[in-house]
Amino acid sequence: MRSLLRVESAALLLAMMLVGSLVLWVGVPLLWLYIGSQIQGSTDSIGLSLLVMFVGVILSIGVVVVLLGRLNHKYSEVREARGLDSYGNVALEGILAVSAGVALVGFGAWFFLFSGSSPIPLNLST
């Protein structure tokens, strides 16, 4: 029973790292774009909104990265408690790579299929 709880907690930690990395790639930029748009709309200052977004993104990324590092450390501890080898940051690195790919594909799908933008100008006549 104890081994089953460790397996479930390891899977839960991996799932939390996946969600956290998606927040890193998608949630943080969208949140600060929204906040910046609200600041620019209320103050009419694009410089202030860019400054707030820049500082906010940097600080948010720092917080998310620290949390992901802690989750990865806990995952390594759970693996070692089960008697398995610890591979360092391999799990977190793999999850970050996969989530970056998912975010990139998601952005590409949105841009090409749903945004209404065209990457190639279709109206070539002058």
Residue 103 within any structural domain of the chain: no
- φ, ψ of residue 120 in degrees (nearest 5): -115, 125
Residue 96 lies in a domain: no
Q: Strand, coil or helix: what is 72?
A: helix
Residue 100, C-beta contacts closer than 8 angstroms, at least 6 positions apart: 21, 25
Rounded average pLDDT over 95-114: 89
Give pLDDT, residue 35. Answer: 96
For 21-59, write each residue's pLDDT tens digit. 999 999 999 999 999 999 999 999 999 999 999 999 999
- Residue 108 phi/psi, 5-degree rounding, is -60, -40
74 within a domain of the structure (yes/no)? yes
- 57 in a domain, yes or no? yes
Return the higher-pLDDT residue of 120 and 50.
50
Full residue range of the structural domain in which residue 50 is found: 29-83
Locate all alpha helices (DSSP H) within the chain, ordered by sequence. Answer: 2-22, 28-43, 46-81, 90-109
The tally of domains found in the chain comes to: 1
**pLDDT for residue 2:** 56
Task: Give pLDDT, residue 46.
Answer: 93
Tell me, yes or no, whether 68 lies in a domain: yes
